[in-house]
Chains A and B, each alone.
Chain A
Amino acid sequence: MKRTAVIGIPRYLSYFSFGELWERYFEHLGFEVTISPPSNQDILDEGVRETVNDACIPIKLFHGHVKSLRDKADYLFVPRLGGTRTRYTVCPKFLGLPDMVKYSLSGLPEVLAPRLDVRQRSIGAWRELVKLGVQLTGRRLAASRAFAQARRVLADKVSEIQREGLPALGFPQPSDSDLTVGVVGYPYVIYDHLANGGLLEQLLRQRVSVRTPELVTDSQMKERSQQFPKDLFWFYSNRTLWSGLHFMDADRLDGLVHVTAFGCGPDAMVGKLLEMESRQRGVPFLSVMVDEHTGEAGVATRAEAFVDMLRRRLRGGSAS
């Protein structure tokens, strides 16, 4: 009997936004899906070894994830994520990702690199994914059906997160918190324990409620986007900026933390803007830059100092 083919999906980068959809889609199509483990030291070390050394940490981590799947799958799923052809709505590294991976890592199984549009609302843009399914299985109807189902699962997940907050992402909120802090950054940095040195857990442990960009709805984002020229940044950078503004202006949170990856070009700009905007509003701002040497201890100290300062501020009554 023919063995079911295995599709490997790296648990990194856009997986944090769309992983559910991809996983379900291929499963519905009858494939076995294997996801790389959550980032660990091995994955990081391998990534650092295999990737051009000028790349940002997330790209290195991604290479590590891909490598960890090398002998475990018949196909590797590394989508080419972009916006429309004329607008660069993602960091160029997302567009060139399949190319980087193919030329940096040897001995990979076949790489599936459909061209996907990040604006998940437009169904037409995901047609490529269905096309890929048809190519692999020859079953058009099954592919469309699998896609429709998978899309529903993702949509449900997104609204669950927006309804219930961080617990839906696997982080229990403290029950007795006196402070609420916005943590902004790219999902592959703020939710990846290894990438951020456990920052979220640190804050939660210190009885701080945390809000992240994934809890902000599209319409709330859109409202904030009015303050800047259109299309200032990439998809994820825009989300970081807009949710930061939302946390300061609409939610009036006690402080803002920006988590940024070493070597990230776009982040340098987003971080600077957030810093300027928070200074104007008098909102306490902390920027945490993570690199391959960031340990939990270092992150913990910085988080602690920030939280202490916020609590002092609260008691002193200087917070508005």
Chain B
Amino acid sequence: MKISYAHMGTATYAVEALLSRLGHEVIVPEPPTQDTLTLGTKYSPEFACIPFKMVLGTYLEVLERGAEVLVSGGGMGPCRAGYYGELHKRILGELGYDPEMIFFWPPLKTPRAFLRKVKRLKENASWFRVLGGLRLLWEKIKVLDGLEQLSHRLRPQEINRGSISKALERALDMIREADTVDETREAHQRGEKLLRSVKVRDVDPDELLRVGIIGEIYVQLEPAANFYLEEKLGELGAVAKRSIFMTDFTKEDVLNLKDESIEELAEPYIPENIGGHGRDSVGETIHYAKEGYDGVVQLAPFSCIPEIVAKSIMPALSDKMGIPVLTLFIDEQTGDAGIGTRLEAFVDMMRSRRRALSRTAAPGAD
């Protein structure tokens, strides 16, 4: 069957590997563009959050390309509520599409339903093949995450603007072409080498600004939804450290394990899980402050409830922990240029703040 899914950063290519392993014809979604968003917005309720609109736009694009089955990870987006996929289905139905939709929820929460859905997806493939596919998925996710993180560290030092992004793109293609776990590992090494061969300035890593990225999961993981924030920060000379990488996400949400310590950090401010990533955003801000980061960027879809709760606590938190926080609420009207200007100002502020801090610290140190 012709199968597709929502684009989600580099993980898109890992999912492609798994599904084609199972013998499906995979329609790989393109990275969402402004057109995708416009399309999704047109058929979404006005106040739906941006993940809802962008994913709907992507679905419409892949359906046009012939997709018959849509798969989706349930954990993303909907503050874990059920309406997200259900409403997508109905809206697509009104537009005359009738794809089969398979929603996956964290396997440990509803093991039986999970198994049924896996069986549906696996069709005639043997369990052995499924296992092989899952191993490949995991390996690819890991190396894709690794390459991305490396690129975030290197980009602030690049000499020619855009050279790291270009190298990363080529490295990702290498991973994409790999058909087995071994090939993936080998491609990873080649990719890493390629990235490291890019000419960079020789700077003390301690001198680079470090910025923590927090917020709602989709806008963190989908660069198209956050206007390629990490690239922008890198080009401004700051190392971006995202809180969620696909590998953590898989750990935390798919296997349903929770990182206790972030929750404990947030406890005095938000004692209970409020859905989405609201509480994590608070805990992670504290974490970054303790690690000596220069600032935090909070990313959230406009009208995203858990992040609004978190944001209302941010001013007090930022004061108390002594870490600047920039909150970016994103909707379909948010412009690339606007985000760029705000980031530039934020980076400038962090830079002068650091200079001031080192000046006051200097006389005391010997």
Contact = CB atoms under 8 A, between A and B. Distances in A.
Interface of A: 51-52, 54-56, 59, 80, 82, 85, 88, 91-93, 95-96, 99-100, 103-104, 115, 228-234, 262-269, 271-273, 276
B309 A96 contact: yes
Nearest to B80: A88
B309 A271 contact: no
A103 B87 CA distance: 35
Contacts of B317: 103
A265 B305 contact: yes
17 contacts: A92-B306, A93-B309, A95-B272, A95-B274, A95-B309, A99-B271, A99-B309, A99-B312, A232-B82, A232-B83, A232-B86, A233-B81, A233-B82, A264-B303, A267-B47, A268-B48, A271-B45
A100 B270 CA distance: 9
Interface in B62-101: 79-83, 86-87, 90-91, 94
Nearest to B302: A54
Nearest to A241: B83
Given A265-B304, A267-B47, A54 B311 contact: yes
Interface centre among B269, B270, B305 (most CB of A within 10 A): B305
A186 to B, nearest CB: 14
A52 B272 contact: no
* A-B interface, 6 closest residue pairs, ranked by CB to CB distance from nearest: A96-B309, A268-B47, A268-B45, A92-B275, A272-B45, A92-B274
Contacts of B79: 88, 92
A229 B312 contact: no
Contacts of B304: 265
Given A52-B312, A100-B309, A265 B83 contact: no
Nearest to A91: B305
Given A82-B272, A99-B269, 9 more contacts: A85-B273, A96-B278, A100-B309, A229-B82, A231-B81, A265-B304, A272-B48, A273-B90, A276-B90
B118 interface: no
B1 interface: no
A60 to B, nearest CB: 11
Contacts of A88: 79-81, 275
A54 B299 CA distance: 13
Given A54-B302, A99-B270, A272-B87, A234 B81 contact: yes
Contacts of A91: 305
B276 A263 contact: no
Contact of A265 (B47, B272, B311): B47
Contacts of A272: 44-45, 48, 87, 91
